[in-house]
Chains A and B, each alone.
Chain A
């Protein structure tokens, strides 16, 4: 079937019951979505599908026909990081970092829907995610910073277009 990931169409030859996680990692060679539990309990595999955070380890390929999948790679790069990526770098919001990509994708989905989340909003949204190194405080700060960076970016876009 055809699978749209990070804006590009891919012909994927995998069984329809294959969880999206394995298609992203094995067929498309993407690193960000991580295997953590395969049970939807930890959030390490989170990606965005049509604007919503989705646990890719328990989402079979057959549900994704015609949908838009976005992974962390689709947001930005080391050279041109997206606001959420800049924010996590600036806050040094990682220790081992294994859980971080999943956290960032859910935070990104939140910020796309709610550009000015409260601290409680962010905590509630990240509830499905586990971090074992104990980087929680930095992760929260990074999401706040990302919200700020996105607004600043939006504001400068508005300013530019107004001129």
Chain B
């Protein structure tokens, strides 16, 4: 199925045709050529895979500076952070810079915007590329002015000589000067001299978003654009048996009705015409459905009985330490929805043999590969351009909508086609965050220290993202369908279902097993934090259970088992900010909780203390206040970082207290906000405070997902503290809490 893509790469490698005109392809060419002779020491971040400086920074003759990133702005605000990084290292005014994000014709291939990698991969690449470009500019100025570089400095987009002569960057850059490979090391600025990095610069995208500017792919209006709607099957395995489209083709404004196997779509001139036609088409379509979903009531027994690939991922043995008191517990997490507020959308246009797709995908290159494969076109004839959508929090319907738009646009050459999913389609067809089960067992020695620790996790993979066409619904539903690719676990140290399954704490004996389940009864993929959400919820809940068993304070107990100094620092900062005192009792019907994790055990550190009130009559929980501390390495935009952690706490609270995908034996039944309730304003806390620990000069750690797990466990621990009852089956709903209180 990859044939067209491989062919295209060969053509590029051979230098054939007119393909090497564009920047991205020449970059791809260079990457492929340089790979065999690549030096042992690679430049940092994504420079390792896209080493040319002009993949990241370009300066035109007028002195306009553009930074390029292969990552997609999803509302995390890193576009602003990247602009700060480039401005800082280049000595260019912040406002004079432009940042271009993921576009297969313009930017480097940085894979997916996921896993809290943007700052680490792309931010690091931009920082180092900018620093090296600055060095090149100084070297060029030194040559022209016949001065040593020590007599030159940079300021405000120009190189300035000690005698006052000034050479603007635009005058210095000529030809292919920046088309050189990055060096492994850069002369980065001393963080103590930062003027732009570390500042809470307002986000560049917010003004348009709060004044009705065109900010999203949903807002695109190309000349002659038509509106498409999909009629999806009513359930995963439904087969279209009959569909009389005659009447629908005659409806007002209808341009086309498309049927390709189980793929059904309608196109109309105006949006509401498309919706009416979609409703009529939906009524006309006859489907044969099969009951193929597991029993929801028995989900966790079914999941743990599915065939699994079992692997011990961590083993530590010290037979001299023996536990005295053993406890065990099982924690479960249901399928959960990304639940984007704006259903997925894409615009595609097929013109002059090229398919252009504007999409809010997290990976323009993998998306291009999938779409090219589906359309049996060379990937070089497909261009994917990222345009912001509603927040996605992982793999939602974005890639599917892009494939839908491309498939329809091919049938309407020249015409731009906008596909907008409906609410029930997003809820019913998005790939969910996978259900998970963890079983924990640990023993305390007679000093109340953990002597042995056993952790087992059962999970599907946490990524079924495209790359191949088979990951996209349109390709799965075509008359000649593409098979869903085989699920693969995401390897450690990042991990998928086993992300954060290995404890950060030091135990003399520890045994961690990952039961990877290849079969996927429901459509699943990556959701913010992947397995770390449930694993950290489990570990940090269980640490509290053990602390209670040891008669110890929750924080003291954690610190007793934790060596990592940066981990200890965030714990101390959150505890101090919260006013945590050993043995302190919360007011009646309230509880205090604490939790901590380092995301993936290699990214940002986050500790969260929370206060929860529980209505003892109804069981209703409410997070009253939360205090977090985060260490994300060198901070680029402190307010952006705080915004991410605040958001993580609120979203994780919603997952933890309310959310569960529901289904019967055939269909997904949580298909809107009534059937899939999430956080509303009546449950918003009184306050959320985030303390940032800056680590000047340290690597960026990435913070988009670090709060999910600790927030969940902190809230669960506070509920246990308030009620004296431990809940282990997510979500921790009012009903479950009430039942636990009454039990």
* Residues of chain A at the chain B interface (Cβ within 8 Å): 14-15, 18-19, 22, 25-26, 29-32, 34-39, 41-42, 44, 71-73, 76-78, 81, 85, 88-89, 92, 94-101, 104, 123-124, 126-127, 129-138, 140
Contacts and interface: CB of A to CB of B under 8 A. Distances in A.
B272 A26 contact: yes
Interface of B: 74-77, 202-203, 205-216, 218-219, 221, 227, 270-272, 275, 339-343, 388-391, 393, 420, 422-423, 639, 643-644, 646-651, 653-654, 672-674, 678-682, 684-685, 687-688
A109 B168 CA distance: 50
A63 to B, nearest CB: 15
Contacts, number: 182
Contacts of A37: 343, 423, 672-673
A119 B695 CA distance: 36
A141 to B, nearest CB: 11
Given A31-B215, A132-B391, 6 more contacts: A35-B343, A72-B210, A76-B211, A95-B77, A96-B389, A124-B681
Label chain B's interface by main secondary structure: loop
Contacts of A19: 272
B672 A96 contact: no
Contacts of A42: 341, 673
Nearest to A84: B210
A132 B272 contact: no
Contact of A100 (B210, B646, B687): B210
Q: Which 3 A-B pairs have the closest CB atoms?
A: A134-B650, A96-B75, A96-B391
B647 A95 contact: yes
Given A36-B423, A132-B393, A123 B209 contact: no
Contact of A25 (B210, B271, B341, B647): B271
Given A35-B420, A92-B203, A95-B391, A134 B270 contact: no
A32 B211 CA distance: 7
Question: Which of A71, A76, A99, A131 has the largest count of B CB atoms less than 10 A from its CB?
Answer: A131
A34 B343 CA distance: 10
A134 B649 contact: yes
Given A88-B206, A92-B639, A126-B681, A39 B341 contact: no
A96 B678 CA distance: 17
Nearest to A128: B680
B647 A134 contact: yes
A29 B221 CA distance: 8
B203 to A, nearest CB: 6
A95 B644 CA distance: 8
Contacts of B209: 94, 97, 100-101
Nearest to A33: B212
Contacts of A140: 684
Nearest to B426: A37
Nearest to B688: A137
Nearest to A125: B681
Nearest to A14: B272
Contact of A81 (B211, B214, B423, B684): B211
A31 B678 contact: no
A14 B270 CA distance: 10
B672 A134 contact: no
Contacts of B74: 96
A34 B211 contact: no
Nearest to B650: A134
Nearest to A26: B271
A34 B210 contact: no
Contacts of A88: 206, 210
A133 to B, nearest CB: 5
A22 B270 contact: yes
Contacts of A34: 216, 218, 341-342, 390
Contacts of B218: 34-35
B651 A134 contact: yes
Contacts of B685: 137
A59 B388 CA distance: 27
Question: Which of A29, A31, A73, A96 has the largest count of B CB atoms less than 10 A from its CB?
Answer: A96
A98 B681 contact: no
Contact of B206 (A15, A18, A77, A89): A89
Contacts of A36: 341-343, 390, 423
A73 B339 contact: no
24 contacts: A14-B270, A30-B212, A35-B342, A35-B343, A36-B423, A37-B343, A37-B673, A39-B673, A41-B423, A71-B212, A72-B210, A73-B212, A78-B211, A89-B210, A127-B680, A127-B682, A130-B341, A131-B650, A132-B651, A133-B75, A134-B679, A135-B646, A135-B647, A138-B646
Nearest to A82: B211
Contacts of B643: 92, 95, 135, 138
Contacts of A136: 650, 679, 681, 684
B270 A130 contact: no
A38 B423 contact: yes
A15 B211 contact: no
B708 to A, nearest CB: 11
Nearest to B639: A92
Contacts of B205: 97
Given A44-B342, A97-B205, A130 B680 contact: yes
B674 A77 contact: no
Given A76-B211, A81-B211, A98 B216 contact: yes
B341 A132 contact: yes
Contacts of B678: 130, 132
Question: Which of B77, B203, B212 has the largest count of A CB atoms less than 10 A from its CB?
Answer: B212
B673 A97 contact: no
Contacts of B202: 89, 92
B546 to A, nearest CB: 30
Contact of A94 (B203, B340, B343, B651): B203
